[in-house]
Amino acid sequence: MRLYSARADKEVPGVAVGGEDRLRAENERLRAELAEQRSKTGDEERQLERYASDLRDIFKAERARAEELRDSYVATVRALTNAVEARDAYTGKHAERVAAYGLLLTRRIEPALAEDPQTEFGFLLHDVGKVAIPDQVLHKPDDLRSDESEVMRRHVLIGWEIVRRVPFLLRAAQIVRAHHERWDGTGYPDGLAGEEIPLAARIFSVADTLDALTTDRPYRRGVSMPEACEVIARQAGSQFDPAVVEELSATPHVVLENIRDKTR
């Protein structure tokens, strides 16, 4: 604004003689003011650049920390999972395979649910409550007596009690609790039916049975993938959510076999 008026003054015709000195002085004053203004603006700009540069550093550090945190979540869950599987020799990498089958199905059914790391954590930790089941029940080769079955069934609620206390595992805890529920309402511990059962638990239930059927046990060999899928399909609507079974049937067997063969 001032600069403009200074220029306008110059263009005004008939400036009185002797006014020229004043004009020159005014011009210099304005130049000095402008220079100071520019230097101040430059200082402010440099100061803001320092803020921007610190902000960049903070973002970088924050991302690294978030990644570290995610990694330590995963490591914690794996440690817990391994603690369970260490006691249960025959299952081998059961939890890992079930998680892989489960995530595959979840991605096809509800992609957002598969994005939630807690879904995988819940799959991996489903049997964490077995740490509290006595050896003679957990490792009994014969059929369990009814009182022993009762003890065995407790692993669901024990697991839920363990996991629900961890804030980053709250949703995973629901899977742990509901992983033995059945679509027809005859499962445990809550006897939930149909869509009362969390979707991730309904998916888990199919994945769990798929792995149980296709894995060799000391007393029987595992069946082939197509056979297992057929067995599961027959239980659609009773044990399993028909929509989940449908997704399983639509999945190429080779994809499932890849998971089985990679995670032994």
Shortest separation between residue 64's beta carbon and another protein, angstroms: 16
DSSP state for residue 22 in the 8-state scheme: H
Q: Which residue, 15 or 58, has its beta carbon nearer to another protein?
A: 58
Q: Which residue, 33 or 71, has its beta carbon nearer to another protein?
A: 33
Phi-psi region of 213 (alpha: psi -120 to 50; beta: other; left: phi over 0): alpha
Shortest separation between residue 54's beta carbon and another protein, angstroms: 5
Nearest 5°: the CA angle 187, 202, 216 is: 85
CA–CA separation, 213 and 227 (whole Å): 9
Q: Which residue, 9 or 62, has its beta carbon nearer to another protein?
A: 62
Shortest separation between residue 55's beta carbon and another protein, angstroms: 8
DSSP state for residue 239 in the 8-state scheme: T
- 252: three-class secondary structure by DSSP: coil
What is each CA distance from 176 to 163, 166, 231, 240, in whole angstroms?
8, 13, 24, 17
Q: Which residues bind another protein (CB under 8 A)?
A: 40, 43-44, 46-47, 49-51, 53-54, 57-58
Please count the CA atoms within 13 angstroms of the CA of 83 that sit on its side-chain side.
15
Question: What backbone phi and psi angles, to 5 degrees, belong to 21?
Answer: -65, -45
Q: Which residue, 64 or 255, has its beta carbon nearer to another protein?
A: 64
Q: Which residue, 47 or 72, has its beta carbon nearer to another protein?
A: 47
Q: Does the annotation mark 130 as catalytic?
A: yes
* Catalytic residue (choose from 40, 130, 140, 262): 130
The residues, any chain, with a CB within 8 Å of residue 185's CB and separated by 6 or more, are: 191, 192, 193, 194
Shortest separation between residue 48's beta carbon and another protein, angstroms: 8
Shortest separation between residue 161's beta carbon and another protein, angstroms: 38
> Given CA atoms 228, 230, 233, 234 in this order, what sign does their dihedral have?
negative
Please give the positions annotated as active site: 130
